[in-house]
Structure 1
Amino acid sequence: MATPDFILELRDKIGHAPLWLPGITAVVLKEVPPGAPIHQLPEVLLVRRADNGEWTPVTGIIDPNEEPHVAAVREVKEETGLDVMVEALLGTGAVGPVEYPNGDVTSYVDIAMRCAVASAEPGADTPHVADDESVEVGWFQVSKMPPMKPRFRLIIADAVAQLNHPTGYRPRMGYYKRES
């Protein structure tokens, strides 16, 4: 799904004026299997966006009256075909303003969550491009990710830290201010 209908309806009323929206970033990690070398890091699910060609974790807009964790699960399913469950809150921060090619200006309050594939069944962790928002999807070792914006690298590092040390992890309040 591209731009949600509720946003198109708002844009009919406000034009390209700045709009503040709730969003999610779903960092899906595949844990290191037991017996793996101690230095091995988890894999992260990434999508290559159709609009700008950039690699990111799954991101999306929260629908009206939708809980953020429900939006994260929905967005991962829509974009990659995977069923996931939210396991932890990683943090929240402001993103933007973002100016789109059509002139729309939007800022986001982003809620980042660590997710895991919901089933251990064989093939349950095999993603595919499931909508027109992405052109590629795949698992990447955290130590061998493609280039991406610093805020996504930060959130992925937070997800690994939270996975490895859940009792000592404190959710991040704020992201990088120098880029969206």
Structure 2
Amino acid sequence: MATPEFVLALREKVGTSPLWLCGVTAVVIKDGDVLLVRRADNGAWTPVTGLVDPGEHPAVAAAREVLEEAAVAADCTRLARVGVTEMVTYDNGDQTQYVDLTFRLEWRSGDPHPADGENTEARWFSPDALPAMSDDMAARIAAALPQRGETLF
């Protein structure tokens, strides 16, 4: 997964010190099924995730990430959850913590497939037959499944 240029520029200034970044989780729904991707870096099944670019609206980032990673066009319909990840320390020593905005998106078009090298698989799953995943990712999906509802914090 390529590191965005704006993060590389920040890293030139702060080294490996902790960065606070904004990320999105895109839970895409089609006929009740959930789009998941299998990450190339660790093999985990997750919804599409990614970083919000500087100046980008988070809902736009969520839809962009889905198109870039899984070749699916989808529309954001609601903010489902706001969360904060644990501190992540990468192999090179960089430390990052993310505020995660989980969105529910409705499928518009496209057949999912790994589109940018960040994932090895992309496909639809019934919510009652999801593959094994972290409790945090399962909570993000659960928050986004209802078509309407309050945002969870």
TM-score by length of 1: 0.82
Runs of 4+ in 1 over 3 A off after TM superposition: none
SS at match of 1:127: coil
Which residue among 40, 49, 60 is the counterpart of 1:59?
49
Aligned length: 153
Which residue in 2 is equivalent to 1:13?
Answer: 13
How far the C-alpha of 1:27 sits from its partner, in A, is: 0.3
Of the three residues 134, 137, 141, the one matched with 1:156 is 141
Matching of residue 170 in structure 1 with residue 150 in structure 2: yes
- Counterpart of 1:178 in structure 2 is none
Q: Distance in 2 between matches of 1:4 and 1:88?
A: 26
Q: Which has the higher strand share?
A: 2
Q: Give 2:103's aligned residue.
A: 113
Which structure 2 residues correspond to residues 23-34 of structure 1 after superposition, within 5 A? 23-31=23-31
Aligned-pair CA distance for 1:152: 1.2
**Of 25, 28, 33, the match for 1:43:** 33
Q: Among residues 117, 120, 136, which one is paired with 2:121 in the alignment? A: 136
**TM-score calculated relative to the size of structure 2:** 0.96
Contact 1:2–1:132 (CA<8 Å) still a contact in 2?
Answer: no
CA distance in 2, matches of 1:18, 1:65: 21
Give 5+ residue unaligned stretches, structure 2.
Answer: none
Instruction: Show CA shifts across 1:76-107 (max 9, x none).
Output: 00000111100111010111201111111100
Partner SS for 1:73: helix
1: distance between equivalents of 2:144 and 2:84? Answer: 18
Please name the residue that 1:103 is paired with. 93
How many percent of aligned residue pairs carry the same amino acid?
48
Could you tell me which runs of 5 or more consecutive residues in structure 1 were left unpaired when the two chains were aligned: 32-41, 119-123, 174-180
RMSD over equivalenced CA pairs, Å: 1.1
